[in-house]
Amino acid sequence: MPTRLELIHGNIMDAEVDAIVNPTDLVLSGGGGLDFAIRQAAGSDVDHACEEILENRGGCQTGEAVITTAGNLSAKHIIHTVGPIWTGGRIGEPKLLESCHRECLQLAMKYEVQSIAFPAISTGNFGYPFEKAAPIALKTVKEFVEYALQHGTPVPDLIQFFLFQEETYVCYVKALSYLGFRLSCFLGKDT
């Protein structure tokens, strides 16, 4: 069955999905931007889960993802991922951003998540340019879903990108159009 991909101009905290993706830092601190907002809304259960991950694994490396409960949020899970800090693309930022999206989807599959919402990873405090991040994010998700479906592997039925800023939303719309899709489309429908 194909996966529905949607671009939404709005706040990821309003997503009605099984899992939301939280862009965080190496020590899962909840210290700034969207990470702070999500962690504040999710409450102490998520804080404790992140502390446990920090103790057991030493945190989360750039390009990796970990999963926790969603605490007080309507979602079941929060998938925390550490996006790359933009330094001009000289230290492999595109590959690390691809890895963030792939790892989040791998965790979603492992935990049988049927719907997932992504923000524009790394485009806030980490300074990744919207126009460079958007095609990487969308192409990575598209290729991941198509590959999984071709191999009979179940993937989420719904993947949303919640894009808070107008400028970010416009960049993602353009990138999706460049891939040949509309704001709301199906991935893998020909497989």
CA 60 → CA 4, 92, 124, distances in Å? Answer: 29, 17, 19
Q: What is the full DSSP assignment across 77-109?
A: EEEEEBPPPPSSSTTSHHHHHHHHHHHHHHHHH
Question: Which amino acid, one-letter code, is at 49?
Answer: A
3-state secondary structure of 133: helix
For the question of residue 14 being annotated catalytic, the response is no
Catalytic residue among 25, 35, 157, 190: 35
CA 93 → CA 9, 52, 121, 124, 146, distances in Å? Answer: 25, 28, 12, 15, 23
State the catalytic residues.
Answer: 35
